[in-house]
Structure 1
Amino acid sequence: MVKKKLPVGIDDFKEVIQNDYYFVDKSMLINELLDKKSKVTLLPRPRRFGKTLNMSMLNYFFSIENRENNRKLFEGLNISKTDKMEYAGEYPVIYISLKDIKFRSWMECFGALKNLISNLFQSKIYIRESLNEIQIKNFNDILMRNENADYTNALKDLSSYLESYYKKKVIILIDEYDTPLVTAHSQGYYDEAIFFFRNFLSAALKGNPYLEFSVLTGILRVAKESIFSGLNNLVVSTILDNDFNYFGLTEDEVEELLKYYELEYELEDVKKWYNGYRFGKRLVYNPWSLINFASKNELNPYWVNTSDNSLIKELLDKNDSKVIDDLKAVFSGNEIEEVITENIIFSDLEDVDTIWSLMLFSGYLTYDRFEISEITGAKTYFLKIPNYEVQSFFKNTFIKEYSHGKTAMYFKMLEDLYKGDVKKFEYKFKELYLSAISYHDSGDSEKYYHHFMLGLLLTLGDKYIVTSNRESGYGRYDIALEPKDKKNFGLIFEFKIGDKNSIHEKAKEALVQINEKKYDVAMKNNGISKVIKIGMAFSGKDVAIESEIN
């Protein structure tokens, strides 16, 4: 049997259906929207989780243009078995996607917006003959991209023209509404962008008498007092809610897909790589990664390599010690407790605490549960990395930070450590350390070097359980790496600081401490027979290492 093609990179609903691509039926999203019938609905979801395909589906379902042909697209889908088909082809629709509005300056951004709006008007040019002279001038100004055209009120004006032409109110669909603002923030023209988009969206969505309802998608739930200032009719459903969960793939949908392509034997590995996102009460898989995996039959990090990580990297670059500590905790497979802010204001991105909300809503973290404070009412979420694909993003981030352009040496150094060749590890570590550490970065705090070593060693998380500051024997070791394969070496590190003349004695002192405090007891009790004990002492760019194996 010839298998259906996989819609890799195709997010046009009509193209998927007419060309008989493999399609996971999410059409009951239409049913839920019509049941709830909010005036303006914002659906923030992570990138590449099916937002554009779903918005395209809404466009083809509701659009009064080509209504009969469009209705055929839904034959056999779940929505066709409901009474909601009476709404198919009943409304004029304005559909725009802002996902490609990503430019380095406001001038370039605004130029692209003018082109986008002009093309939108061009697609509705058939209504121009029904307009009066003033309306025709406004329409033509937009069409010709004139400087004096009223772009701010373009969506509202177009909805007025369509309502007058069809005698029916208009549905407005705006996909990836926040992409231009994320880019504007990273490129330094946020003030100009927010000024325009606040007025642009408010004109279309606030008090627009020609609006039937509107749906917007994006990644972030931006606070009302920011871009949606004064918009009182806004209903928001984030990944923390149980509503509108028609994004991502459920376990049943994934099993069906793998079975269809005769890949069901890969289910456990696929689950490890791409599952783990919690949307409301559901656990879902990343659809972009699943489609790419099924197409190539290779387990690779597809999603993190295509997503825009600029905001995440911007916050990571701040090197806030608590953020780094918490990231290292989740990288090690632990949970962290953080208060999540659903209403994000872009100016808050200067606050490093916002990174947890951003990472959760962007798909880099997920949660198992939450607790509500009886005193403040704040929700504390227990966050973790959802799967191996996202873990690979953090792993590569740490590699980049600690290898400083010497990636090959970095990997060989860790391989030496894994094999128990401490002398080779020591040689490569000292060379890498000279490149990685600056006199201005280092200090007289043991905690600084502890952070550095923990970040460097966390990339061994595939082979070891990495722990830090845990009790064992008669004290608390600095870092321990317990091998998942008990035949391999265990590793225990203890760190000291000193001056250039004393670090060799300090390194010996650290090794003695490991033995005297019996830090290896917990590992030995877990069946690890061979443990490498490493004492390290630091002074600026100088380091001394003492070790033994027993």
Structure 2
Amino acid sequence: MKKLPIGISSFEKIINENYVYIDKTKHIDQLVNKGAGRYFLSRPRRFGKSLLIDTIKHAFEGNKALFKGLHLENYWDWQTIYPVIHLNLGISSSYHSKERFFTEVHSMLDEHAKKYGVVLKQTDYGVKFGELIRLLHEKHPQGIVVLVDEYDKPILDNITSNELAMQMREILKGLYTYIKQNDECIKFTMLTGVSKFSKVSLFSDLNNLDDITLDAKYADICGYNQAELVETFNEHLQQGKVNYDLLRRWYNGYNFAGSEKQKVYNPFDILLFISKDFHYRNYWFETATPTFLVKMVQKNRYFIPDFESVVVNEHLLRTFDVDNMPIETLLFQTGYLTIKEMFLRGHVIAYRLSYPNYEVKYSLNNSLATIATNDSKKNQVIDHMISAFERNDFERLGEIICSHFASIPHDWYRNNHIDQYEGFYASIVYSFLAALGYDLIAEDVTNHGRIDLTLVMPDKVMIIEFKLQKYGDAKEAVAQIKSRQYAQKYESYNKPIYLIGMSFDDKQRNISDLYVEKYEC
């Protein structure tokens, strides 16, 4: 069996050293031979953007031997060689100072000048970049290729420091503007990143770059679709007797076009899953805990269950900047939400977003459960909740929830009235239940209405309804479940069904009572 290319983004190394490579070169054919040649692609981290850029580089450099047996072998002009300026901003571990950025960029430009035998005289980083483009074009009139990988990393590295992030944005403008200014010298341009910062100069002119992020033709340009997974990794997965349905549930589901047929797996998850003896873990999520995202949710008091179904128009998905970061856009661009459906809302394209898979839903909510508490307290609450649910100890469950709300600092309620809304309590409880590791459905649709929360465990189903005490107690919440016949949806599961009402006191900012009935068909 071929080796697994974990952490390897060198196309040459993968091909020459017998690593697994899934052929994506049909997309390069489409981009270069059938398109305008000016592109931007956004994908979450660890999705294979760097490998894509490196593969394009080797094609333009004419390294035909590397493409033997691949689609591009027979769909490329191998006689024409192009000089390639490849700026890989992902090569640095961090850009927490302007000086570090300038040092890296000057070094990359000097290396390219040395490689192609030109002398750079300019000292300003942006002017120097423009000089390199023009000098290479003078030597190579067929045109040059500009590839920028992780173009936005200097901004993202400083996203928690608004001032420094904005400075980095302006510095990047001073670099990328020279791509636009020297367009006549360039045969092909492609930039990749996690986010599309709208105020970076590249995006101020909509005709400058073709943003293919949501283009159906390129939905699987990065990531593994189901057919590719089965064809390429079947031998590995059969060795571990892997259940494909469970694998899909854990790691599949990323969608950048809105079509069910175009969902992809994050390559990092699949490679680590195989490498780590087929154990289901949150491999991708663990590479970067979204502390900034957790702080943003906490600061703005978002209703966390809404993340299961978010409707946005196309403009919002593409609108993002340091001083304007809609939570929906941030979650989508960073990979915590993905497209579930594309439809017209009036005359405007709209998208329904949700978690891509179980790994992301479970892991993100595990992190969000730290809101208004800390990791130690969170883990304790989760452990106690699991024990209470497994033993049907509902009295203990009420005590756990009561204890948690009592521990939320008073400062968390300052300058807002969120504690007066039912959604606040549902949001806190939701994050903990989602972090338990069982199936959790928010706003669960039935023929008779929507259940606040449904928790599906291996041996039982819990149907949960919330009330503010001033609108009704826990018994009335259960009565509502019964009157609307919510439990009928789960009768076919052939499991015990428990109806749980929770009532909250907005003056005490805590649970006031909890009532449970076992459902009888």
Q: Which residue of 30, 51, 61 corresponds with 1:32? A: 30
User: Offset of 1:16 from its aligned partner?
Assistant: 0.9
Q: What fraction of aligned residue pairs are identical, expressed as a percent?
A: 22
Aligned residue identity for 1:49: F
Task: Give per-residue Cα distances to partners, 1:501-532, cap 9 Å, x unaligned.
Answer: xxxxx9xx724424655637725544365535
Alignment of 1:48-59 (within 5 A): 48-59=46-57
* Contact map agreement 1:202 1:228 (CA 8 A) in 2: no
Alignment of 1:1-400 (within 5 A): 3-63=1-61, 70-87=63-80, 90-101=81-92, 103=94, 105=96, 108-125=97-114, 127-128=116-117, 131=119, 135=120, 137-138=121-122, 149-187=123-161, 188-223=163-198, 226-230=201-205, 232-243=207-218, 245-263=220-238, 265-280=242-257, 281=259, 282-296=262-276, 297-307=278-288, 309=290, 312-321=293-302, 323-327=303-307, 330=308, 335-341=309-315, 342-347=317-322, 349-350=324-325, 354-374=326-346, 377-400=347-370
Q: Which residue of 1 aligns with 2:385?
A: 414
* Contact map agreement 1:121 1:158 (CA 8 A) in 2: no
**Shift in alpha-carbon separation, 1:295–1:311, aligned structure 2, 3 A:** same
User: Offset of 1:197 from its aligned partner?
Assistant: 1.3
* Contact map agreement 2:87 2:147 (CA 8 A) in 1: yes
Equivalenced residues, count:
499
**Shift in alpha-carbon separation, 1:488–1:345, aligned structure 2, 3 A:** closer
**Shift in alpha-carbon separation, 1:240–1:317, aligned structure 2, 3 A:** farther
User: Offset of 1:454 from its aligned partner?
Assistant: 3.8
SS at structure 2 position matched to 1:177: coil
User: Offset of 1:39 from its aligned partner?
Assistant: 4.4
User: Offset of 1:447 from its aligned partner?
Assistant: 4.6
**Shift in alpha-carbon separation, 1:226–1:422, aligned structure 2, 3 A:** same
**Shift in alpha-carbon separation, 1:543–1:358, aligned structure 2, 3 A:** closer
Task: Give per-residue Cα distances to partners, 1:480-521, cap 9 Å, x unaligned.
Answer: 535455x536354453447xxxxxxx9xx7244246556377
Aligned residue identity for 1:453: V
* Contact map agreement 1:48 1:288 (CA 8 A) in 2: yes
User: Offset of 1:227 from its aligned partner?
Assistant: 4.6
Structure 1: distance between partners of 2:400 and 2:152:
45
User: Offset of 1:5 from its aligned partner?
Assistant: 1.1
* Contact map agreement 1:205 1:231 (CA 8 A) in 2: no
Task: Give per-residue Cα distances to partners, 1:163-193, cap 9 Å, x unaligned.
Answer: 3334542111111111212234332313322
TM-score normalised per structure 1: 0.80
* Contact map agreement 1:49 1:248 (CA 8 A) in 2: yes
TM-score normalised per structure 2: 0.84
Alignment of 1:484-503 (within 5 A): 485=458, 488=460, 490-497=462-469
User: Offset of 1:195 from its aligned partner?
Assistant: 2.0
Structure with larger Rg: 1
Task: Give per-residue Cα distances to partners, 1:447-488, cap 9 Å, x unaligned.
Answer: 54344334443445725545479897xxx8984535455x53
Structure 2: distance between partners of 1:223 and 1:303:
27
Q: Does 1:481 align with 2:454?
A: yes
**Shift in alpha-carbon separation, 1:113–1:19, aligned structure 2, 3 A:** farther
Aligned residue identity for 2:106: I
SS at structure 1 position matched to 2:263: strand
For structure 1, the residue ranges without an aligned partner over 5 or more in a row are 139-148, 499-505
Indicate the larger mover: 451-460 or 385-394: 451-460
Structure 1: distance between partners of 2:111 and 2:467:
68
* Contact map agreement 1:492 1:520 (CA 8 A) in 2: no
**Shift in alpha-carbon separation, 1:109–1:44, aligned structure 2, 3 A:** same
**Shift in alpha-carbon separation, 1:372–1:523, aligned structure 2, 3 A:** closer
Structure 2: distance between partners of 1:216 and 1:511:
55
Indicate the larger mover: 270-279 or 208-217: 208-217
SS at structure 1 position matched to 2:454: strand
Indicate the larger mover: 261-270 or 435-444: 435-444
Q: Which residue of 2 aligns with 1:452?
A: 428
**Shift in alpha-carbon separation, 1:283–1:403, aligned structure 2, 3 A:** same
SS at structure 2 position matched to 1:401: coil
* Contact map agreement 1:478 1:495 (CA 8 A) in 2: no
For structure 2, the residue ranges without an aligned partner over 5 or more in a row are none
